[in-house]
Amino acid sequence: MESDHPGDRPAPASPEIEAWLTEAMPSVSELIGAAQRVTGVLFKGAQATSVAGDEVAAAACTASAWLVDHPCPDTAIGEQFETAFDDFADLAERCAISARTVGDHRGSRHHDLDKRAARATTDLMIALSATRRDDE
């Protein structure tokens, strides 16, 4: 079966969701970029970790505020985005903790930033996929 959509992407769940997602994409892109800067940041030291955390915190705050002002037309999808944005806020907090405890064995459980960044990004990708309709 041939797809009617470029790149064989599933169709949008609805025109309203598509319009909402278009408005959300700057925040989504900012979050993904900030998460990428977290990966491997601990090897650059406490200051770089703190700066990366600040970038994630700013992006998460912006995204969350945008979502409050622009609720998703589909409540379930909106909740997925809210959860994903919360994951990024948690990542920012973990960056701040890690920056303060780099080299301190007591803080080692907070030093899984790469995994947390990957998890937050994955949750965001799952939320994004919910905006598409499966025709099969």
Q: What is the pLDDT of residues 29-55, one digit of tens each?
A: 999 999 999 998 988 889 999 999 999
Distance CA 116, CA 33 (A): 14
Mean pLDDT of 82-97: 96
Is residue 5 very low, low, confident or very high in pLDDT (cuts 50, 70, 90)? Answer: very low
Alpha helices in the chain (DSSP H): 15-38, 46-69, 75-101, 113-129
CATH class (in words) of the domain with range 12-129? mainly alpha
- The pTM of the full predicted model, rounded to 2 decimals, is 0.84
Instruction: Please report the pLDDT score of residue 43 as a whole number.
Output: 85
Is residue 111 very low, low, confident or very high in pLDDT (cuts 50, 70, 90)? Answer: low
Each residue's pLDDT tens digit, 11-35: 667 899 999 999 999 999 999 999 9
Instruction: Please report the pLDDT score of residue 33 as a whole number.
Output: 96
Mean pLDDT of 119-128: 96
Instruction: Please report the pLDDT score of residue 12 as a whole number.
Output: 65
Is residue 109 very low, low, confident or very high in pLDDT (cuts 50, 70, 90)? Answer: low
Instruction: Please report the pLDDT score of residue 2 as a whole number.
Output: 42
Distance CA 107, CA 128 (A): 33
Distance CA 105, CA 82 (A): 33
pLDDT at 82 over 70: yes
Share of the chain above pLDDT 70, in %: 82
Q: Look over the chain and give the mean of its residue pLDDT values, rounded to a whole number.
A: 87
